[in-house]
Amino acid sequence: MAGDAEPPEGEHYFTERPRSASRPVDHRFLYRGRVLTFSVDAGIFAAHGLDPGTDLLIESFELGPTDRVLDLGCGWGAVGAAAARAAPRGQVILTDVNRRAVSLARRNLRRNDISNAEVRAGSLFEPVRDERFDAILTNPPYHVGRPFLLKLLSEAPAHLTDTGALWVVGKGSQGIRFYQAWLEEHFPGTVEVAGRRSGYRVLLARRAPPESRNP
């Protein structure tokens, strides 16, 4: 679901059943002292390997060892797999509307012997209805348009615990400054830039300001 590259002609990554011919290849990256190995494929975001925005998100997020985490728009599962390593006694739910991405993410969790995560198919928060998380991590599909992105951001608080945090990555050409201003208005006193590189920003928005979390 995530994305900063152009989708194949006639479809986009936010497609339930991509028409692109499957062309799986392997990709590896090092995280917390372990090489993680993934199958990636055409018809989903970052079909050739880890993109700069997702790389920065993985580098920037901070999780507790028992956190419950949502990887919203998981693609082939890089963020969710890293989150499962960062929260080894927690639980990670990966979701994507793209069925090929869901299949790949499940395969990649198995390939990396990750047992504290699962993958669900569906758009936005449909697969986790009535569930709440300590962290929501997302590199959203900016090409789908601003109304979709604002729907994602506006629905996120209902799926965060009282001390939960939303982590969003994007770059200037995707309007990340607009979304930062929107978050600052709707998550007052909690928004910060948690990571910055090559035009990308990772925005961190907390459900409650620090003084509310630590009375």
pTM for the full model?
0.88
In this predicted model, what pLDDT tens digit does every residue of 157-192 receive, in sequence order?
A: 999 999 999 999 999 999 999 999 999 999 999 999
CA distance 59 to 71: 15
User: What is the token pair recorded at 188?
Assistant: 């007052």
Q: How many CB atoms lie within 10 A of CB 143?
A: 16
Q: Please tell me the CATH superfamily of domain 25-213, with its number.
A: Vaccinia Virus protein VP39 (3.40.50.150)
C-alpha angle 108-113-116 in degrees, rounded to nearest 5: 95
In this predicted model, what pLDDT tens digit does every residue of 73-126 receive, in sequence order?
A: 999 999 999 999 999 999 999 999 999 999 999 999 999 999 999 999 999 999
CA distance 131 to 15: 24
Q: Which residues contact 215 (CB under 8 A, 6 or more apart)?
A: none
Q: Where are the domains of the chain?
A: 25-213
